[in-house]
Amino acid sequence: MNKPANQYSLVIDSPLGRLGILILNHQIHRIDYLAGSVRLRAASSAFERRVVQQLGNYFDHPGVNFTVPFELAGTPFQQRVWMALTKIPAGETLTYGELADKLGSGARAVGNACRHNPVSILVPCHRVVAASGIGGYSGSTSGPVLDRKRWLLEHESQSVPALKKPAMTPDSQLHRKNQRNIPA
């Protein structure tokens, strides 16, 4: 849920539109997509300038790693998923099922955790896709919200020859085989 525009520490323009960034105690707590009519709010501290600079670097060079600290407020399971997302390199993707296999969980649970990611872009939930296509983004499976995911994936693929999928592990191959054999 978006906070009122005046609740953000920063409101910046990006290639994806306006971003509202909530910073508390020198940690990013939220990044939200905002309407273009929301007023910009410039950086007023060295930390906020660092946040703006690192996001700008990412939009210029998608392989950049973020070093600004962020707070992930969520359930222990959500936090496990979100930390796993930070390990997927730019230009690579995993399916919800593949990530679920790595975490000993289910694909829907992983998707739900991705949906509630409070710091998208920094924690790259866009790098998780459906086995049959792009999947969803921020709880949407179509429209402008999904266009953001497409943009992020295409943007990151510029830093590598093509979006690469890691080789399937024997466990994920078995999981996929078992999923095909489940009666409808």
φ and ψ of 133, to 5 deg? 165, -155
Domain boundaries, the chain: 5-60, 76-180
CA dist., res. 53 & res. 65, Å (int)? 12
Mean confidence (pLDDT) of the chain: 84
Q: What is the mean pLDDT of residues 50-73?
A: 92
CB 17 within 8 A of CB 2: no
Q: pLDDT tens digits for 8-48? A: 999 999 999 999 999 999 999 999 999 999 999 999 999 99
Of the residues 125, 129, 152, 153, which is catalytic? 125
Is 125 catalytic? The answer is yes
Write down the pLDDT at residue 180. Answer: 36
Integer angstrom CA distances of residue 85 from 49, 93, 121, 138: 25, 10, 10, 15
Integer angstrom CA distances of residue 137 from 28, 42, 120, 148: 20, 27, 10, 8
Write down the pLDDT at residue 5. Answer: 59
pLDDT of 169 above 60: no
Q: Mention the CATH class of domain 76-180.
A: mainly alpha
